Amino acid sequence: MCIKRCFRLFLLLFLLFPPGPASGQVRIKDIADIEGVRENQLIGYGLVVGLQGTGDKLDSAVFTRESLIGMLERLGVNTRDQVNKLSTKNIAAVMVTAQLPAFARSGSRIDIAISALGDATNLTGGTLLVTPLLGADGEVYAVAQGALSTGAIAARGAASSVTRGVPTAGRISNGATVEREIKFRLDKGQALRLGLRNPDLTTARRIALAINGALGPISKALDPRTVALDLSTRDPVDVLSVIENLRVVPDNAAIVVIEEASGTIVMGANVRISTVAIAQGNLTIRVTETPVVSQPGPFSDGQTVVVPRTDIQIDDQKDRKLGILQSGVTLRELVSSLNALGVGPRDLISILQTIKTAGALQADLVVR
């Protein structure tokens, strides 16, 4: 009776809390892309109107003035004879950019980004006029228009001003309509390839083995970035829907990335250190000036003078010890050892560079 109750309890726990995927496993769709399925960049030049005196100055922004004149002429308004009298500050020339997603169909909507091109100071409250968006081949793939939002705050007074965000850049959600499709038939692809986002030969082979184990011998790793798929006898859409949800354990190269400008250090889990001794210390000299005012006694003929007083402190960090890192230490042990030496991020950068020079850092060192 007790055995049955225990079994029922175990079954209930199993149903309520099913076992998750093995540690470190990720879906293939999260580390690889289908070659040919990608976004395309679009760009256009347009005008934003309706600004509250924060637009371009037509005297200095010649391209804005000429664009305004050309737009009015297309609408049947001739202003060529009154060019010198155009002084509106409610219009701004902008660049419009967008990403045309894969498989975007005619009539679908996409987001657009807008950036001021001239000397406009704020685009808040403006409306983008009809703007064709061109691809790299010069063809129009989308048309943008709408009221833009900057998400910025700008306030100015007589003596000071406050600006939060970037008021000269904004976005329009679903602000462009796709007019031209990029021809690509995924269901007709018989020889597709997967491209790894982080090229690695071991990861590519693991992906090929996972696919072959689930669907048969249809894949082969060609190089650290590419896995070829043979779909001549199968439906590509059905096969890819299965492949993208297969899980593998990606292998990462041993690498240390250093961002010297901000003092940021990122180490991979496979970083190893050979046996090496480390001693780190700095000489700090602090000079403090605390002048003292000396005043004469009452009813005396003396003068008030300033007497200099200098305090010099020297810190040679005698408490820093020589530390030894044994061969094959892991990332966790490396960080713990350096923290025990009282090493900060800036000093750690110098130590890692020196360890690499000594040949004891078994990883690639990337300094940016």
Same domain, 138 and 198: no
Angle 331-337-339 from CA coordinates, rounded to 5°: 100
Residue 317 has pLDDT above 60, yes or no: no
First to last CA, the chain: 67
- Confidence at residue 324, expressed as pLDDT on a 0 to 100 scale: 54
- Provide the strand spans (E) within 213-283: 219-221, 226-229, 247-248, 255-259, 264-267, 272-273, 276-279
Same domain, 48 and 161: yes
Same domain, 103 and 156: yes
Enumerate residues 6+ apart whose C-beta is below 8 A from 45: 67, 93, 94, 95, 96, 117, 131
Same domain, 173 and 192: no
Q: Of 19-33, 36-50, 210-224, give the lowest mean pLDDT range.
A: 19-33
Number of folded domains that form the chain: 3
Domain that holds residue 216: 186-248
Q: Is residue 316 part of a domain?
A: yes
Q: Is residue 34 part of a domain?
A: no
Q: How confident is the model at residue 114 (pLDDT cuts 50, 70, 90)?
A: very high
Same domain, 318 and 349: yes
How far, in Å, CA of 161 to CA of 203, rounded?
54
Q: Is residue 28 part of a domain?
A: no
Q: How confident is the model at residue 10 (pLDDT cuts 50, 70, 90)?
A: very low
- Confidence at residue 246, expressed as pLDDT on a 0 to 100 scale: 93
Same domain, 61 and 166: yes
Give me the percent of the chain exceeding a pLDDT of 70.
Answer: 76
* Beta-sheet pairing, 361-362 with 247-248: unpaired
Top pLDDT among 242 and 255 is at 242
Same domain, 54 and 95: yes
- Answer whether 365's CB lies under 8 Å from 258's CB: yes
- In this prediction, residues 147-155 reach a mean pLDDT of 83
Q: Is residue 18 part of a domain?
A: no
Same domain, 72 and 142: yes
- Answer whether 120's CB lies under 8 Å from 51's CB: yes
Q: Is residue 31 part of a domain?
A: no
Same domain, 155 and 243: no
- Answer whether 135's CB lies under 8 Å from 42's CB: yes
Q: Is residue 4 part of a domain?
A: no
Q: Is residue 131 part of a domain?
A: yes
Q: Is residue 148 part of a domain?
A: yes
Residue 358 has pLDDT above 60, yes or no: yes
Same domain, 138 and 191: no
User: Among 128, 153, 178, which residue terminates a domain?
Assistant: 178
User: What is the tens place of the pLDDT at every residue in 330-354?
Assistant: 656 766 666 666 666 777 777 778 8
Q: How confident is the model at residue 320 (pLDDT cuts 50, 70, 90)?
A: low
Same domain, 203 and 170: no
- Per-residue CA distances from 16 to 2, 13, 19, 25, 188 (Å): 21, 5, 10, 22, 42
